[in-house]
């Protein structure tokens, strides 16, 4: 053993070094397996994931077979509803046509 000085008035005494062969010995630590988190099973888990097959076999089909006929009252027309993202019926006179504007200004 030897006495060593760290700072003025502060010393420590070290133990004799024991050299151990790191190859010989027993494994003292064991990897702890954490349990898997619980996941609730669902019916959707059993559905096979064949997305590519479904997309390759996809064929577009026309859904609507009948032609719709729009009937508007006399003197009205369909126009975009301002700031409402829809359509509305408005009087035809309220629409701005360039030829109507010229006639009104004369």
pLDDT tens digits, 75-88 = 888 888 777 778 88
More confident residue, 4 or 105: 4
Domain-located, residue 43: no
Report how many domains make up the chain. Answer: 1
Domain-located, residue 98: yes
pLDDT at residue 98, as a whole number: 62
- Which structural domain range is residue 87 located in? 74-106
Which pTM value belongs to this model? 0.29
pLDDT digits (tens, 9 = 90+) for 10-65: 888 877 766 666 666 666 677 778 888 888 888 888 888 888 888 888 888 877 77
Q: Are 88 and 73 a contacting pair, CB within 8 Å?
A: no
Q: Are 89 and 76 a contacting pair, CB within 8 Å?
A: yes
Q: Any idea which residue has 């003292």 for tokens? A: 28
Q: In angstroms, rounded to a whole number, what is the distance separating the alpha carbons of residues 74 and 5? A: 109
Q: In angstroms, rounded to a whole number, what is the distance separating the alpha carbons of residues 78 and 88? A: 6
Q: Any idea which residue has 């369909």 for tokens? A: 78
């Amino acid at each position: 053993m030897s006495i060593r000085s760290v700072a003025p008035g502060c010393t420590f005494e070290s133990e004799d070094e024991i050299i151990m062969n790191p190859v010989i010995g027993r494994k003292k630590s064991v990897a702890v397996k954490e349990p898997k988190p619980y996941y609730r099973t669902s019916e959707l888990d059993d559905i096979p994931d064949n997305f590519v097959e479904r997309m390759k076999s996809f064929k577009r089909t026309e859904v609507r077979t009948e032609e719709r006929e729009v009937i508007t009252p006399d003197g009205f027309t369909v126009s975009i509803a301002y700031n409402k993202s829809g359509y509305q019926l408005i009087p035809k006179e309220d629409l701005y046509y360039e030829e109507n504007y010229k006639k009104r200004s004369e």
